[in-house]
A and B are shown apart, each in its own frame.
Chain A
Amino acid sequence: MALAPDPMLPRRARVLASRQDTRDTWTLELELDGAAPLPFAPGQFNMLWPFGVGEAPISICGDPAEPARIVHTVRAVGAVSQAIAAAAPGAVLGLRGPFGHGWPTVQAIGHDVLIVAGGIGLAPLRPVILELLAHRGQYGRAALLYGARTPADALYGHELDAWRARGLQVLTTVDVADRAWTGAVGVVTRLIPRAEVDPARTVAMVCGPDVMMRFTAQELTARGFPAARVHLSLERNMRCAVALCGHCQYGPTLLCRDGPVLTWERLRPLTSVREL
């Protein structure tokens, strides 16, 4: 994907729209100066910079077919992400990117696709879903398994039914619920047996908290999904985003360059190293 001439030089991105998704999560729509397009691959991230606060890596969650419309879903958990989430329409943020190695949407052509997301982990997978649905005939069966803390914490609730109607099996589960919730209750790994895909010919893409991804990958491989076709997106301390500073080093990999998406085959030996 095309980078700015100097990847360390931020560009100006104006906030066009802001929507609060859950109690702590907002989705922003941005536009570069002159409405310049920002082509990206699903799974890549931008560095967003609320001036005077700091810079943070945020996954791109827009539609790859609409590169001039830059969409980010942000969970306000720290100073930088809170400042990004608070950016109102008209505000200007610094933006560098896109960076990183994304999801294997091309390799997945001709295969079944299983998407497993937990919490805000659905955001980096949204471009995959949009691309898959835009080219539905190129893929086999496709399923989304989504786990959230409570029904009110689930992202993109308004889109899940639309995705289902367009040929994606969508199963959701929450950790805590009362009777008003008619869906499943339990961890997202409990949905795996219900996914209507053939493990041997499936490309799996998993994003969520580290622990959730580790247990999901273990469950998938135990059920016959090849480790080389189970892909996870890791979130670490990206700073320079161009493999210079080493802050995002994870064993022999620099996640900003080699990731954030890596296969379970590659990650499995690293997950047992506790210092990483």
Chain B
Amino acid sequence: MSEALGLEDVLREHPFTTGMRPEHLRELAGCAREVLLAAGTFPIREGDAADTFYALRDGAVAIEVHAPSGPLVVQTLHAGDVLGWSWLFPPYRSAFDARVVEPARALAFDAPCLRGKAERDHELGYALMLRMARVFTSRLAATRLQLLDLYGPRA
């Protein structure tokens, strides 16, 4: 119980949960554990089961894709970001690699646990999806700007 309360406190401070109702925070905390992601490790690998969702508290994680020339970094995530969304949709397989660039403390959520709670309590599910949608739109907007090659010769 004390561990769950500690997790709730940590969770409440994370930007992802801003404005979330206390009972929903409690439910999320019930699926979470604190982890330390070591530099150079891969918490997520392309094609693997997407069974964990991370809320980063510090450090840096690079989203990577393999290319014939070697791995390319698509985007880096930092404190306040969340990592992973393939856990939301079948077939629950990760689409990219995630490599830890700087050691990171994070909350790791058990994805089946989260999905189950969201399915049983649609208000919780809506609160969760609303925040995930905000992450999607923010990342999509950032990716669109990245694709514009703003600093290229035509800028």
Give A211's nearest chain B residue, CB to CB: B150
The answer to whether A149 touches B142, judged by C-beta atoms less than 8 angstroms apart, is no
Asked if B41 is an interface residue, CB under 8 A from chain A, the answer is no
Interface string of A10-31 (1 = CB under 8 A from B): 0000000000000010000000
Interface string of B34-62 (1 = CB under 8 A from A): 00000000000000000000000000101
Q: Which of B91-129 contact A (CB under 8 A)?
A: 101
- Which of B60, B64, B151 is in CB contact (< 8 Å) with A175? B151
Asked if B152 is an interface residue, CB under 8 A from chain A, the answer is yes
Asked if B1 is an interface residue, CB under 8 A from chain A, the answer is no
How many chain A residues touch B (CB < 8 A): the figure is 31
Find chain B residues with CB under 8 A from A148 CB: 151
Asked if A193 is an interface residue, CB under 8 A from chain B, the answer is yes
Asked if A184 is an interface residue, CB under 8 A from chain B, the answer is yes
> Other than the known A179-B71, A190-B75, A208-B151, what 9 A-B pairs have Cβ atoms closer than 8 Å?
A119-B155, A147-B151, A149-B151, A179-B73, A181-B73, A190-B142, A194-B79, A209-B150, A212-B145
A contacts, CB < 8 Å to B: 24, 77, 118-120, 147-149, 153, 173, 175-179, 181-187, 189-190, 193-194, 208-209, 211-212, 215
B contacts, CB < 8 Å to A: 15, 60, 62, 64, 69-76, 78-80, 101, 141-142, 145-146, 148-153, 155
Q: List 8 A-B contacts (CB under 8 A).
A: A118-B151, A175-B151, A178-B71, A179-B70, A185-B62, A187-B142, A187-B150, A194-B78
